DNA sequence: CGGAAATTTGAGCAATTTCAACATGGGTGG
DNA sequence: CCACCCATGTTGAAATTGCTCAAATTTCCG
């Protein structure tokens, strides 16, 4: 973001057009954002902690936020690294505990739109369009997690890293020929659940997968296929089949 | 289930009281289930396949269903093993693709309640209570996936297996002192993303974690702690803190 | 220009997979 | 009722891969 002059309208615009809100009409958008405020955090500031009562949910409008958990056995797991337009606490919003399950820290200087959860939740349920959008959001989130689990099991580290870099490129609309890593390698390693050393040793192997990393520069040798190599679990088409031996059970409810 | 006489009312009752419907009033429940039918599948029958158009979503009322994906690189990943009361295709319902991302196969003879997705989705959005319940469901689902990712990274295989068995026990209200495995070990291994051999070799190590497995019999040596050892990512309480250096940005929307 | 932080590289170790052989067990057909 | 067979699970040993600890570089920044 431009330094010096703070363009709050621009930042607000980002929030307003963040999924799942982008599809709503402008009147509805206004409603959803009443009561929300824009906050600024400095690098390394804690935005919320594990166990904190859940009072706001968050839309990152500028900068980078690390979201992670500390497990009982002392490890620290980076769940995600959020940039422009990301929504935090999606799932917590609809878990009854009413607490944060993760900790969020500003990796860089950051601007965050914060919306009180209670009114937001209530408005959401009253608007079918918004509810659907949010359901879609959560569904995507689940799907993404599942994809990650699958990758961890079926792909070797080099494939996982290559896939991550392609995803990163795609997700943020970066140059498909290559880009500069937006954050530290150690953060990526943590995000991928591997050690920094392993990550580092993996980089040279990426050439076999059409990716070169030199310093913080990432280059794709096959720009066209960047999108294609991002995992989609694409199911191949099959001829339509009859239900094998499913038997429908006639049923009549007894009042 | 009792053999011979098919108690369809009982099976229907299960479906009706499956989350997220249990909280709705009975009139609303009726509405949600109109258009649904009970199907019977024999062991090994395919219920739906990856890539199939998404026409129904499913509630397992009796038996065991394996849900899995075939990845591009030829592996087969068991996403979940569903028993009594489980809901399938939760997330697909709200992904726009309108196709199944997984394949479901009956592991045993099975009864499944099938509801057409379109009317169900529409009704869901019109009912704030139902929408909230479903949002809660998806949120839990996401959370569970995340927990799994964390386990895979922070725990060793023995811990993961022990955790799984405890979870299984708890989730299905089995005897906290021990139970009989409801399905094959190879299925469990697949579900946990490990090889059958690894699973097999891990079983003797479970004693260190208070679990003994002999054949298909599982015994917990510490019944009291079964619940406690199920992962919850329980965040410890901390004293309330001030926001560190967050700065609120005054903002006024320019019409 | 220094010193600290971040990353790379090396060597040995631990754990899981792989391939292969062996055991178990239930079920079926004679 | 028994022998055999196939599915399932167990056990061994080698190969692979990521991790840990340590040291050497490189990059940042003040």
- pLDDT per position as a tens digit, B176-224: 999 999 999 999 999 999 999 999 999 999 999 999 999 999 999 986 6
pLDDT tens, position by position, A55-81: 999 999 999 999 999 988 888 999 999
Residue A199 contacts strand C, CB under 7 A: yes
pLDDT confidence tier of residue A140, bands split at 50, 70 and 90: very high
Scanning every strand, the nucleotide with its C1' closest to A203's CA turns out to be C8
Over 80: is that where the pLDDT of B51 sits?
yes
| Of B249, B85, B71, B231, nearest in space to B151 by CA | B231
Share of chain B above pLDDT 70, in %: 78
Residues 6 or more apart in contact with residue A11 via CB below 8 angstroms:
A1, A38, A61, A62, A111, A113
Q: Kindly report the bases of strand C lying within 7 A of a protein C-beta atom.
A: 6-11, 15-20
Q: Looking at the complex, does the CB of residue B17 fall below 8 Å from at least one CB of chain A?
A: no
Residue B230 DSSP SS3: coil
Q: Is residue B121 very low, low, confident or very high in pLDDT (cuts 50, 70, 90)?
A: very high
* Nucleotide closest to residue B198 (CA–C1'): C16
- Nucleotide closest in space to B187 (CA vs C1'): D8
Q: From the CA of B198, how many Å to the C1' of C23?
A: 17
CA distances from B176 to B23, B55, B171, B226 (A): 27, 39, 11, 7
- How many residues are there in chain B? 255
pLDDT of residue B34: 74
pLDDT score for B30 = 72
Number of A to B CB contacts under 8 A, please give it: 213
Query: Closest to A12 (Cβ–Cβ): which among B91, B111, B251?
Result: B251
Phi, psi at residue B240, to the nearest 5°?
-65, 140
Contacts of A251 in chain B (CB under 8 A): 8, 12, 37-38
- In whole angstroms, how far apart are CA B83 and each of A4, A221, A246, B80? 58, 47, 18, 10
B124: closest CA of chain A, how far (Å): 9
Residue with token string 């704030």: B128
Angle, alpha carbons B214-B215-B219 (nearest 5°): 40
Q: What's the pLDDT tens digit per position in A82-113? A: 999 999 999 999 999 999 999 999 999 999 99
Nearest CA in chain B to A30: B253
pTM more than 0.85: yes
Mean pLDDT for A221-236 is 58
Which B-chain residues 54-113 have CB contacts (< 8 A) with chain A?
Answer: 69-73, 75, 77, 79, 90-96, 99-101, 111
pLDDT over 70 (residue A136): yes
Pair B168, B86: CB distance under 8 Å? no
Interfacial B residues in 138-157 facing A (CB < 8 Å): 138-143, 145-146, 148-150, 152-155
Q: Which range among A4-13, A122-131, A231-240, B102-111 shows the weakest confidence by mean pLDDT?
A: A231-240
Per-residue pLDDT at A192 exceeds 80: yes
Per-residue confidence band for A221, with pLDDT thresholds at 50, 70 and 90: very high
pLDDT in tens, B55-92: 999 999 999 999 999 988 888 999 999 999 999 999 99
Instruction: Name which of A128, A142, A246 is nearest B40 (Cβ-Cβ).
Output: A246
pLDDT level of residue B44 (50, 70, 90 thresholds): very high
Would an 8 Å CB–CB cutoff place A126 in contact with chain B?
A: yes
Q: Which residues of B touch A236 (CB under 8 A)?
A: 51
The candidate with the shortest Cα–Cα distance to A115, out of A63, A59, A42, is: A59
pLDDT at residue number B74: 81
**B49·A238 Cβ contact <8 A:** yes
Residue B134 parent element (H or E):
helix B128-154
Q: Which residues of B touch A155 (CB under 8 A)?
A: 73
More confident residue, B123 or B225: B123
The angle that helices A128-154 and B128-154 make with each other, rounded to 10 degrees, is: 20
The reply to whether B225 touches chain A by the CB within 8 Å rule is no
Q: B253: pLDDT confidence band, cut at 50, 70 and 90?
A: very low
pLDDT of residue B245: 62
How much is the pLDDT for B89?
A: 96
B157-189 burial, b if ≥16 CB within 10 A, otherwise e? Answer: bbbbbbbbbbbbbeeeebebebbeebbeeebbb
């Amino acid at each position: 973001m431009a330094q010096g002059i703070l363009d709050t309208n621009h930042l607000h615009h980002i929030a307003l057009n963040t999924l799942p809100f982008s599809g709503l009409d402008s009147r509805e958008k206004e409603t959803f954002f009443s009561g929300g405020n824009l906050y600024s955090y400095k690098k390394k500031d804690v935005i919320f902690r594990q166990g904190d009562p859940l009072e706001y949910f968050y839309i990152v409008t500028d900068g980078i936020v690390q979201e992670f958990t500390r497990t009982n056995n002392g490890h620290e797991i980076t769940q995600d690294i959020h940039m422009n337009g990301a929504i935090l606490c999606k799932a917590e919003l609809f878990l009854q505990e009413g607490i944060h399950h993760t900790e969020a820290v500003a990796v860089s200087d950051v601007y965050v739109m914060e919306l009180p959860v209670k009114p937001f939740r209530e408005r959401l349920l009253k608007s079918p369009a918004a509810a659907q959008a949010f359901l879609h959001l959560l569904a995507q989130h689940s799907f993404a997690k599942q994809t990650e689990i699958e990758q961890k099991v079926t792909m070797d580290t080099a494939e996982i890293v290559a896939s991550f870099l392609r995803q990163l490129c795609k997700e943020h609309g970066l140059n498909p020929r290559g880009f500069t890593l937006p954050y530290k390698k150690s953060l990526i390693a943590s995000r991928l659940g591997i050690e920094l050393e392993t990550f580092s040793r993996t980089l040279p192997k990426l050439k076999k997968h059409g990716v070169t990393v030199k310093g913080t520069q990432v280059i794709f040798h096959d720009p066209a296929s960047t999108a294609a190599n991002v995992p989609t679990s694409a199911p191949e088409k099959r001829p339509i089949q009859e239900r094998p031996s499913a038997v429908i059970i006639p049923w009549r409810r007894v009042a």
